[in-house]
């Protein structure tokens, strides 16, 4: 009679190990992020120092880069925009010919089957860098919730009208999913899905992206609307509220430091869960690899498998293009 567990029997060779795999990565699971800039320079392509391998790009350069990625197997992407001008209301976020609206139309013209997801927030568009409207003279960064909801819904509608395949609100205003759903439905976009950044923490891991998207707050911080890293129950309440209001997919952000929340959300709710492997996670892996401290490909794949294993169906990661180009996912 065996007195102990012989788990190594099912690890004896590569074939049997692959047969036992319970989690995998596919091209369809991964979403790539792009930052597009409103500029008259069609050749504008600026490397982002804190995100090696990533660029701020003009629409023409975006078209070229996305075309190469599609040829490698890219299935979906998310767009972030930097306007030519900013103001205290973030008006370029919902302008008919804003940078995201034009970029969506360009991409959908060339690749109608490409899933183009649009981030909906005001932080890249406001002169103060916060995710919504502030009271006149405010220097604390306290965003006015209900007036901001209206502008977030207006932004979402403008993206839908431009041809976005999915709306992804990241602002963390209370009630914004309901406002977006009602606005979209009233305009006839009843079939357009919403992927809510429902469980979004006030994280130090966002630093490189805020530099890249020129979206850092000029004063105060975002802790009055993004969640404290020590909270668990609050994240579950946010997810439940957004589902009730009409969210089709729930996102957890960041991914790696919050695998427990990905698992909790996926176990608790009967909706697909997305996770955002944010800029700080990407930058740390790149920096360690550049110093020769880790096997970069192995760590990238392990980090993403961990996110999938926790329960994420969709992963937004800046490694997507590289994985496709190298044939590491199919």
Name 223's Cβ contacts closer than 8 Å, sequence gap at least 6: 202
Confidence of residue 1 (pLDDT cuts 50, 70, 90): low
> Would residue 200 show up in a list of annotated catalytic residues for this protein?
yes
Looking at residue 2, its pLDDT comes to 66
**How many other CB atoms are there within 10 angstroms of residue 67's CB atom?**
14
Looking at residue 68, its pLDDT comes to 98
Going from the C-alpha of 122 to that of each of 211, 224, 230, 274, 327, the distances in angstroms are 16, 16, 26, 21, 36
Residue from 46, 108, 186, 253 carrying the catalytic annotation: 253
Q: Which of 254, 298, 295, 291 has its CA nearest to residue 276?
A: 254
> Would residue 186 show up in a list of annotated catalytic residues for this protein?
no
pLDDT (average), residues 91-98: 98
Looking at residue 159, its pLDDT comes to 98
Confidence of residue 138 (pLDDT cuts 50, 70, 90): confident
Instruction: Say if residue 210's pLDDT is above 90.
Output: no
Q: How far apart are CA 313 and CA 300, in angstroms?
A: 17
Is the CB of residue 113 less than 8 Å from the CB of residue 106?
no
Interval 21-69: pLDDT, tens: 999 999 999 999 999 999 999 999 999 999 999 999 999 999 999 999 9
Q: Which residue has the higher pLDDT, 219 or 168?
A: 168
Q: Express as a percent the part of the chain with pLDDT over 90.
A: 93
Q: Which residue has the higher pLDDT, 274 or 218?
A: 274
Residue from 46, 86, 186, 200 carrying the catalytic annotation: 200
Domains along the chain with CATH numbers: 25-325 (3.20.20.70)
Q: What's the pTM? A: 0.95
Looking at residue 261, its pLDDT comes to 98
Q: How far apart are CA 152 and CA 275, in angstroms?
A: 21
**Please, what's the b/e burial string for 68-100 (b: 16 or more CB within 10 A of its CB; e: otherwise)?**
ebbebbbbbbbbbbbbeebeebbbbbbbeebbb
């Amino acid at each position: 009679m065996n007195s102990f567990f012989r788990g190594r029997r099912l690890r004896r060779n590569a074939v049997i190990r692959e047969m036992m795999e319970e989690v995998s990565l596919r091209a369809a699971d991964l979403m790539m992020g792009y930052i597009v800039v409103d500029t008259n320079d069609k050749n504008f392509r600026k490397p982002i120092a804190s995100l090696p391998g990533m660029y701020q790009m003009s629409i023409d350069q975006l078209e070229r880069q996305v075309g190469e990625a599609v040829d490698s197997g890219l299935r979906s992407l998310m767009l972030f925009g930097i306007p030519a001008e900013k103001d205290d209301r973030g008006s370029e976020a919902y302008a008919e010919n804003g940078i995201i609206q034009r970029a969506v139309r360009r991409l959908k013209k060339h690749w109608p089957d490409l899933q183009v997801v649009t981030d909906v927030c005001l932080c890249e568009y406001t002169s103060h860098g916060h995710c919504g409207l502030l009271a006149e003279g405010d220097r604390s960064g306290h965003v006015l919730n209900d007036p901001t909801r209206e502008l977030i819904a207006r932004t979402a509608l403008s993206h839908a009208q431009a041809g976005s395949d999915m709306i992804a609100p990241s602002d963390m205003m209370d009630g914004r999913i309901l406002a977006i759903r009602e606005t979209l439905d009233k305009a006839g976009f009843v079939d357009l899905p919403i992927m809510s950044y429902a469980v979004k923490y006030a994280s130090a891991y966002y630093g490189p992206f805020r530099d890249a998207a020129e979206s850092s707050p000029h004063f105060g911080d975002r802790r009055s609307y993004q969640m404290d890293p020590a909270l668990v129950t609050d994240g579950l309440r946010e997810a439940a509220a957004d589902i009730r209001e009409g969210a089709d997919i729930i996102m957890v952000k960041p991914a790696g430091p919050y695998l427990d929340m990905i698992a909790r959300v996926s176990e608790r709710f009967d909706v697909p869960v997305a996770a955002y492997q944010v800029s700080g996670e990407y930058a740390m892996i790149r920096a360690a690899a550049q110093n020769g401290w880790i096997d970069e490909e192995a760590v990238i794949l392990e980090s993403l498998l961990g996110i999938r294993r926790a329960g994420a169906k969709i992963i937004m990661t800046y490694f997507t293009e590289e994985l496709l180009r190298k044939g590491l996912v199919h």
